[in-house]
Every structure is written in structure tokens, then in C-alpha cells.
Chain A
Amino acid sequence: DAGVIQSPRHEVTEMGQEVTLRCKPISGHNSLFWYRQTMMRGLELLIYFNNNVPIDDSGMPEDRFSAKMPNASFSTLKIQPSEPRDSAVYFCASSQLSYEQYFGPGTRLTVT
């Protein structure tokens, strides 16, 4: 079975550009989570959805970040405009009626 799929795996962009990260959760999972991982702050939850509805976005750093889940099999995390301090690895995870979250391979974002 396919796990969580994320694209792109690597993204290099210039400051001020828009960045869109994509995630396909495991089929049948009803919850989706976006995390950011840095050396300084570790793994931070940005936002999560239940049944495509955003439940908690208290971890979203600021208005430059937005996330959508238009259907059960797709979610995006957008940063506009991007800044160098946004450089990190962004993970998507999904779960099905449990607390066991399954992570994708991540997108390594570098903003120059």
C-alpha cells in the first residue's frame, strides 16, 4: 500500500516567491497533519484537518502560511511570500480514527 505522498521532495526558491507544498494522505485516513522540522525547534505541528475541515491552525506561524484540503485525498500548504527563515523540512502525516500518525517523506524547502 502507498504511504503518504509528498511533492516536491526538494524546493529551492528565492525570497518573496510563492511556494506550494502538496500532500496525498493514505487512502481511507480521515485526518491530515502538516508539520515543520528544524534543528532549533524540532517537529512543530502547523495545522491539522479532520474530514477535510481545519480543526486547529494555532501552529501556523503567520498569515503568510495557508493550508487547504479540498478533498480527502489532497492537501496543500502555501507560503506567500516566502522568507529565508521558512527554510525547513515540511512533513505531512495522516491517521485514521486513531492517534497513530503516519508521516510522508517530507519536502526540504530552502529559501535564499
Chain B
Amino acid sequence: GQQLNQSPQSMFIQEGEDVSMNCTSSSIFNTWLWYKQDPGEGPVLLIALYKAGELTSNGRLTAQFGITRKDSFLNISASIPSDVGIYFCAGRGPSIGAQKLVFGQGTRLTINP
């Protein structure tokens, strides 16, 4: 089945630094989603991408749908303490059910004040 490789698995940064993470797939995806999960809560949708090359921002967050349709990137600028959490990418590919999403393993972000 389709798999997503998300990296890095964890990040330890200083407050104010920029953050970059990415997801890659072994096959083409038609949709990329980025979620954030806080401890004890469910994942919260941050950004949705639907077209190859699409670049979308949500405040300090920017995500891109890779041109090859096999990858996506999430950047966070000027990190703040509330950015701490686990970030997941999710993708929808043409070879699986129309609404099924495949999730990456997550990137755990820790910020030192």
C-alpha cells in the first residue's frame, strides 16, 4: 500500500527560529493535508493542498504541494511556544479509496524558550 515518509521525526529548536519539515511518497498523491496534534487532543487541520505546485499560507505557516506530486513541505516562520506539538502530513492518492487518507509518522516539535 501507499506509504508516507515524514521527516524529521523530531526537532528541537529555539523560540523564534524557522521550522521546515517534509513528506515524501513512493507514488503520486492528489491531495496533501497538514495537521497539528496537541497532547490529549485530536489532529487539527492546518492547510489543505490540491494542485501540484500550489503554495498556501495560514498565518506563519506555509505549505507546498510538490511539482512531482510525490512530496509536500511545511514551513513555520518565527516559531513561538504554542507551535509545540506533533505535525502530521496526510495524502490522498488515486490508487486508494476516494476519501481515504494516508498519514505520515509525524514530526514532534519542541521549542526551547
B-contacting residues of A (Cβ < 8 Å)? 4, 31, 33, 42-43, 45, 48, 50, 55-56, 91, 93, 95, 99-106
A48 near B45 with CB under 8 A, answer no
21 A-B pairs whose Cβ atoms sit less than 8 Å apart in the complex: A4-B42, A31-B99, A33-B99, A42-B106, A43-B88, A45-B101, A48-B97, A55-B99, A56-B100, A93-B42, A99-B31, A99-B33, A99-B48, A99-B99, A99-B101, A100-B33, A100-B45, A103-B44, A105-B40, A105-B42, A106-B42
Closest Cβ of chain A to B34, distance in Å, is 11
Given contacts A95-B99, A105-B42, 14 further A-B contacts (CB under 8 A): A31-B99, A42-B103, A42-B104, A42-B105, A45-B100, A48-B100, A99-B48, A99-B99, A100-B45, A100-B48, A101-B90, A101-B101, A105-B40, A106-B41
A4: chain B residues at CB < 8 Å are 42
B43 beta carbon closer than 8 Å to chain A:
yes
A99 and B43: CB pair below 8 A? no
A50 touching B42 by the CB < 8 A rule? no
Q: How far is the CA of A4 from the CA of B43 in the complex (A)?
A: 12
Inter-chain CA distance A98–B97, complex, in Å, is 13
Closest to B45 in A: A100
CA distance A100 to B100 in the complex (A): 10
Q: Count residues on chain B whose CB falls below 8 Å from chain A CBs.
A: 21
Main secondary structure of the interface of A (DSSP, over half): strand
Nearest Cβ distance between residue A23 and chain B, in whole angstroms?
11
CA distance A71 to B42 in the complex (A): 23
Residue numbers in A under 8 Å from B42 (CB-CB) = 4, 91, 93, 103-106
